[in-house]
Amino acid sequence: MLKLDKVDVYYGAIQALRGVSIKVDEGKVVSLIGANGAGKTTTLKTVIGLLKPKKGKVIYKGENIAHLSSHKRVKMGISIVPEGRRIFSRLTVLENLMIGAYTREDKGIKDDLNFVMDLFPILRERENQLAGTLSGGEQQMLAIARALMGRPELLLMDEPSLGLAPNIVIEVYKTIKEINKRGVTILLVEQNVNMAQRVSSYMYVLENGIVNISGTPQNVVSLDEIKKAYLGG
Amino acid sequence: MLSASYFAQQLINGIVLGSMYSLLALGMTVVYGILRLINFAHGAFVMLGAFFIYFLTSLWNVPFPLALVALAIFGGVMGVFYDTVGFRKLRGRGELPLLITSLGIYIFLENLAKMIFSPQSYAFSAPDYFYDRISLGNVSIANIDVFTIASSIIIVVAFSLFLRKTKVGIAMRATAEDLEAARMMGINIDKVILTAFIIGTAIAALTGFMWGAKYSSIQYNIGFMIGVKAFVAVVIGGLGSVAGSMLGGYILGIAEILTVGLLPPGYAPYRDGIVFTLLVIILLTRPSGLLGQKEEVRI
Amino acid sequence: MKKDMTKGILTIVLFFIILWIAQQNLNKYVMFIIDLIGVYMLIVLSLNLTNGYTGLFNLGHAGFMAVGAYTSVLLTFPAAARKFAALPYLPPWLGGPNYQWPFLPALLMGGILAALLAIPVGLPALRLRGHYFAVMTLGFMIIMETIAINARGLTRGALGINAIPTYTNVFWTYGWILIFLYIDIMLMRSSYGRAMLAIREDEIAAQAMSINLTKYKMVPFVLSAFFQGIAGGLFAHLTTNISPYDFSFDLTFATIIMLIIGGSGTMTGAILGTSILTALSFALKPVEEGLRLYGLIELIYSALLIIVMIKWPLGISGGNEWTLDYIARKLRLKRKDTYTT
């Protein structure tokens, strides 16, 4: 479904990604792990189109989208749950959800609204409240629900567990599984390797903008260096 | 010496001026909200709008209501030019380059107008019925004043509804809050910004008519002070707040007229100085304005 | 180091000999233009201290110029002509009704008053971020203009003051530029100058390194106000008549445009921008008047500004000081290019 082919990305003169190649098959959850500043968020921003690669291809459904603008990519079925949630705090919960469906013109928006509110009943309760007044966990759910409103085929998730209480993290991951079960392909960026390995079918490890290690979660996690760096063992 | 009716008359003048500032502040606050641009060129569109409708009605005898519609369209088209010539190429280049460019565009438009229309001033008049007066006891109010006050209220209310109820309006608010996140949600930022410019300049052009009709004279250089004062109104009300820009516009308009009307005549020429003293005081004591959110340093 | 200094002094001496020869041979109008370029250059160079080095966008410099101009004119105006010009006599503590100041102390007094005024203006304004600072200083300029229009007893208001004695010549203007350049170079070589540049590059990082932002912005702000005051005095005694409108939007924008087109942040950029644009405006003046296209010069200025902002945000200088070494290196590079192709 998604393939990054030897992608180079720069911030000005600084190279953030060096020949990154990643493959995400349809229907799977693939995760990208790595330390702060390794280039995980940069990778997602390259997929959603905020950053354009200097070299390499971003292939989505067989088409190179590397030079398309973000709104075209969203329209093609890519949605993102951004790092730090980035919900619009001065908009109501409902307005945030409608922004999620911004590129859509089909008639199914209402149904999807019902669907995400069933998935997160708290959002229905808070429908007309300003999103900025929600708690951190609620904001994360809103961010996920907002992304789902785009009816994505590929969902990008940037550290959905960041800054949340452990019980909420578990809940978020349950939702991720649930979303995947409904046929949404997911590219997950995490520092929480423990949680990521439970949902993923394949993992990539990013270090200083380079993918050095990849494999099934069992294989990756059993590597000593991964244990040392991410699992405190 | 100051009779109640004199005071009331001045108050009306203040509200009329305030209505015009509100309209301009609205266009500026929206653009500021999204681009962090202090739009110095905004006043140029007031001037160009005034000349446009002057030529349509006084010279070519276009029926007035039609001319007003044409004026709004003219304003919108200018907004398209303004964005595409100036700002589309400057996306992501920081506040100062934007401000400097808008300054450059202002100077360009003013001098273009000076070349085309000559430096002289033109006697501007609206259709006669605008100068009929409705009397309310001791005070009377001209139709043009009613028109200006009413249109400003209608436009501000319509714009608020647009921001609350329409898809593009909601997207505009989202973009103003977090431009990058809005892009990630698939909002076409260029379209949103273009819409903001179109609305802003169309309103500015309409304000040009009100300005000319109220003060009966237009000149190539009327724009700058109007624009800068409208920005002062934005700062007073609070950047990025629609209600604030309206409030700021009224406060500024009334304060300006009352200083001229109530202070001894010797102080009248200090008018502009007083406006900017007000700006300085607000910037120092309440930099986020009366209704604005506290602006954080964005990294 | 010593060799550099001799080189520098020789260049300066040579420059002033050229100026002297020019003054002996060229007609008055051409000398006036060269002189005016010098005055503008001093304004633009001092503007570069704030707008170029520290990234503050000062729009209030015309206000400081006005202070310098009116101060110097009021102090030097011939005592005998004061009554006729409707200007006040000097009070006893400034020398009394029969006294008129010599040019240099009057000029200095103008600069000092402008610098003193910059302190209360700067204290609040320098705390404001980027474009707020621009708007506030613009407000300051407008306030100064209204005061100049209304304080008729001192300024004769909108009528302006005429028949100001001509004192300014090329040696005055370029002499002051020399003094400015010396101070500017010394400042930028000091740790203080490096801190100023750090602020421009990244305010937040500079703050994190515990650089006191307001303090480091205050020195260039006050210093530039001083030289703008001096430039105001030079301007008044060059053009021999001033009115509040001389220190208003037109001057503000023209000088800002010169700095940006030349390349803000470099001295040579300021010098280039001023020379080219002022010369251009005098070259275009006959065209503007002949075709009755008033506004043509400003139109071209602003079009250039917009193009520069979009295409070459660093201006002509490209962010580099065009020292002789730099030019030589550039020429050498170019020659190499032609060889290889």
Choosing among A73, A88, A153, which should be mutated to test the B contact, i.e. which has the most B CBs within 10 A?
A88
CA dihedral A167, A171, A176, A181 (to 10 degrees): 140
Cα gap A32→A29, rounded to integer Å: 10
Radius of gyration of chain C (CA): 21
Tell me whether residue C195 is in a domain.
yes
* Average pLDDT score over residue span C250-259: 92
Distance from the C58 Cα atom to the nearest Cα atom in chain B, whole angstroms: 11
Cα gap C203→A226, rounded to integer Å: 38
Residue with tokens 């405190």: A232
Q: What are phi and psi of B62, to 5 degrees?
A: -70, 135
Minimum-distance CB partner of B177 among A71, A90, A100: A90
Q: Is the pLDDT of residue A180 over 60?
A: yes
Q: What are phi and psi of A189, to 5 degrees?
A: -105, 130
Cα gap C196→C211, rounded to integer Å: 9
- Interface confidence, given as ipTM, is 0.92
Q: What are phi and psi of A9, to 5 degrees?
A: -130, 140
What is the pLDDT at residue C2? Answer: 65
**Which helix (H) or strand (E) is B163 found in, with range?**
helix B143-165
Q: Which of B130-134, B282-286, C149-153 has the lowest mean pLDDT?
A: B282-286
Q: Is the pLDDT of residue B38 over 80?
A: yes
* Average pLDDT score over residue span C290-300: 88
Contact A103 B171 (CB under 8 A): no
- The pLDDT-based confidence of A233 (bands split at 50, 70, 90) is low
Encode C152-185: b = buried (16+ Cβ within 10 Å), e = exposed: eebbbbeeebeebeebbbbebbbebbeebeeebe
Contact A100 B171 (CB under 8 A): no
Contact B271 C128 (CB under 8 A): no
Tell me whether residue B153 is in a domain.
yes
Cα gap A95→A106, rounded to integer Å: 18
What is the pLDDT at residue B296? Answer: 37
Contact B111 C298 (CB under 8 A): yes
Q: What is the pLDDT of residues A141-152, one digit of tens each?
A: 999 999 999 999
What is the pLDDT at residue C245? Answer: 93
Q: Is the pLDDT of residue B37 over 80?
A: yes
Tell me whether residue C247 is in a domain.
yes
Residue with tokens 């349950």: A174
Cα gap C146→B256, rounded to integer Å: 14
What is the pLDDT at residue C52? Answer: 85
Q: Give the whole-number percent of chain A exceeding pLDDT 90.
A: 77
Cβ atoms C294, B115 nearer than 8 A? yes
Contact C299 B111 (CB under 8 A): yes
Angle of helix B242-262 relative to helix B4-35, nearest 10 degrees? 140
Q: Is the pLDDT of residue A169 over 50?
A: yes
Please give the biggest Cα pair distance in chain A.
51
Choosing among B28, B93, B95, B100, which should be mutated to test the C contact, i.e. which has the most C CBs within 10 A?
B100
Choosing among B38, B115, B256, B272, which should be mutated to test the C contact, i.e. which has the most C CBs within 10 A?
B115
* Average pLDDT score over residue span B206-227: 93
What is the pLDDT at residue C235? Answer: 96
Q: What is the pLDDT of residues C64-111, one digit of tens each?
A: 999 999 999 999 998 888 888 888 888 888 887 888 899 999 999 999
Tell me whether residue C2 is in a domain.
no
What is the pLDDT at residue A13? Answer: 82
* Average pLDDT score over residue span B272-287: 80
Q: Give the whole-number percent of chain B exceeding pLDDT 70.
A: 96
Give me the number of domains chain B comprises: 1
Q: Which of A50-59, B165-174, C121-130, C279-288 has the lowest mean pLDDT?
A: C121-130
Q: What are phi and psi of B147, to 5 degrees?
A: -60, -45
* Average pLDDT score over residue span B274-295: 74
Minimum-distance CB partner of C306 among B104, B119, B276: B104
What is the pLDDT at residue A144? Answer: 95
Q: Is the pLDDT of residue B292 over 70?
A: no
The DSSP secondary-structure symbol of C242 reads B
Higher pLDDT, C319 or C336: C319
Among candidate residues C167, C168, C165, C166, the one with its CA nearest the CA of residue C81: C165
Cβ atoms C22, C157 nearer than 8 A? no
CB atoms under 10 Å from CB of A212, counted, come to 11
Q: Is the pLDDT of residue C339 over 70?
A: no
What is the pLDDT at residue C318? Answer: 77
What domains can you pick out in chain A, each with its CATH number?
1-72+187-233 (3.40.50.300)
What is the pLDDT at residue C341? Answer: 37
* Average pLDDT score over residue span C132-149: 90
CB atoms under 10 Å from CB of A222, counted, come to 11
Minimum-distance CB partner of B101 among C253, C295, C309: C309
- The pLDDT-based confidence of B297 (bands split at 50, 70, 90) is very low
* Average pLDDT score over residue span C39-68: 92
Tell me whether residue C1 is in a domain.
no
What is the pLDDT at residue B218? Answer: 94
Q: What is the pLDDT of residues B71-91, one digit of tens each?
A: 999 999 999 999 998 888 888
Contact C309 B104 (CB under 8 A): yes
CATH of the domain at C273: 1.10.3470
Cβ atoms C137, C125 nearer than 8 A? yes
Q: Roughly how many angstroms between the first and final C-alpha of chain A, as a whole number?
A: 35
A contacts of B170 (beta carbons < 8 Å): 91, 95, 98-99
Q: Is the pLDDT of residue B299 over 70?
A: no
Structure tokens at B105: 């565009």
Give the C window 244-283 contacts with B, CB below 8 Å.
Answer: 249, 253, 256-257, 260
* Average pLDDT score over residue span B97-116: 92
What is the pLDDT at residue B243? Answer: 86
Q: Distance of CA A35 to CAs A50, A83, A230, B221, Å?
A: 21, 14, 8, 58
C contacts of B119 (beta carbons < 8 Å): 294-295
Smallest CA–CA distance from B225 into chain C, residue? C142
Chains B, C in contact: 3+ Cβ pairs under 8 A? yes
Choosing among B29, B180, B184, B193, which should be mutated to test the A contact, i.e. which has the most A CBs within 10 A?
B184
What is the pLDDT at residue C210? Answer: 63
Smallest CA–CA distance from A70 into chain B, residue? B186
Q: What is the pLDDT of residues C147-171, one digit of tens each?
A: 999 888 888 888 889 888 898 888 8
Chains within contact range of chain C (3+ C-beta pairs < 8 Å): B
For residue C222, what are the domain limits? 7-340
B contacts of A80 (beta carbons < 8 Å): 184
What is the pLDDT at residue C110? Answer: 96
Choosing among C54, C143, C252, which should be mutated to test the B contact, i.e. which has the most B CBs within 10 A?
C143
What is the pLDDT at residue B8? Answer: 85
Smallest CA–CA distance from B239 into chain C, residue? C132
Chains within contact range of chain B (3+ C-beta pairs < 8 Å): A, C
For residue B207, what are the domain limits? 23-222
Write down the mean pLDDT value for chain A: 92
Give me the number of domains chain C comprises: 1
Higher pLDDT, C52 or B24: B24
Smallest CA–CA distance from B107 into chain C, residue? C302
Smallest CA–CA distance from B183 into chain A, residue? A70
What residue type is B239 in one-letter code? L
Residue with tokens 């020398």: C95
Contact A102 B181 (CB under 8 A): no
Is B178 part of the contact surface with chain A (CB cutoff 8 Å)? yes
Smallest CA–CA distance from B168 into chain A, residue? A102
Q: List A24's β-bridge partners, or say none.
A: A2
Is A99 part of the contact surface with chain B (CB cutoff 8 Å)? yes
- The pLDDT-based confidence of C288 (bands split at 50, 70, 90) is confident
- The pLDDT-based confidence of C336 (bands split at 50, 70, 90) is low
Among candidate residues B220, B223, B234, the one with its CA nearest the CA of residue B275: B234
A contacts of B94 (beta carbons < 8 Å): none
Tell me whether residue B253 is in a domain.
no
- The pLDDT-based confidence of B127 (bands split at 50, 70, 90) is confident
Contact C306 B86 (CB under 8 A): yes
Among candidate residues C300, A90, C299, C64, the one with its CA nearest the CA of residue B177: A90
What residue type is C194 in one-letter code? R
Q: Which of A29-33, B127-131, C80-84, C177-181 has the lowest mean pLDDT?
A: C80-84
What is the pLDDT at residue C95? Answer: 80
Chains within contact range of chain A (3+ C-beta pairs < 8 Å): B
Contacts of A51 (CB under 8 A, 6+ apart): A9, A42, A45
Contacts of B297 (CB under 8 A, 6+ apart): C129, C203, C204
Q: Is the pLDDT of residue C1 over 90?
A: no
